[in-house]
Structure 1
């Protein structure tokens, strides 16, 4: 039973991490005075989400794995968008 509980907890942590990163991205104001600090916060959220997702992938069920991989793709879109905006 602890294995299943840990699996669910790690999935939920990854899910929350991804949600936090998506929220930070949605709230960024590209022409705002504090864009730099918002970008730093976004970077931290994305990095933390990636770590949580990678941890959850170690013992995820197939359904969880598909969702976690979608989170990875969505986070990569955010990274690509931010990188294109800053070039």
Structure 2
């Protein structure tokens, strides 16, 4: 049973990390004085989420794997969007 619990915990961490990165992205305001600080924090959140996804993929079920790949795709879209606006 611990293996199943570890899979679920790893998946949930990746899911939470992705949601937090999305929230930071959605709240990013280009014309605020602290934009650079916001952007730095967003990049940190995205990097942490990628790491959590990679960790979860090591133990994921097939269903989880498909969702994790979607999380990765969502994060890659954020990175691409941010890179275009810099």
TM-score range (shorter-chain normalised) is: over 0.9
C-alpha RMSD over aligned residues: 0.4
Give the corresponding residue for 2:63: 63
How far has the Cα of 1:27 moved from its partner? 0.6
**TM-score, scaled to structure 2:** 0.98
CA distance in structure 2 between the partners assigned to 1:77 and 1:31 by the alignment: 21
How far has the Cα of 1:31 moved from its partner? 1.2
The reply on whether 1:25 has 2:25 as its aligned counterpart is: yes
**TM-score, scaled to structure 1:** 0.97
How far has the Cα of 1:32 moved from its partner? 1.0
Matches within 5 A, 1:2-41: 2-41=2-41
CA distance in structure 2 between the partners assigned to 1:34 and 1:14 by the alignment: 27
Residues matched between the structures, number? 86
**Structure 1: 5+ residue stretches without partners:** none
Q: Secondary structure of the equivalent of 2:32?
A: coil
Give the corresponding residue for 2:77: 77
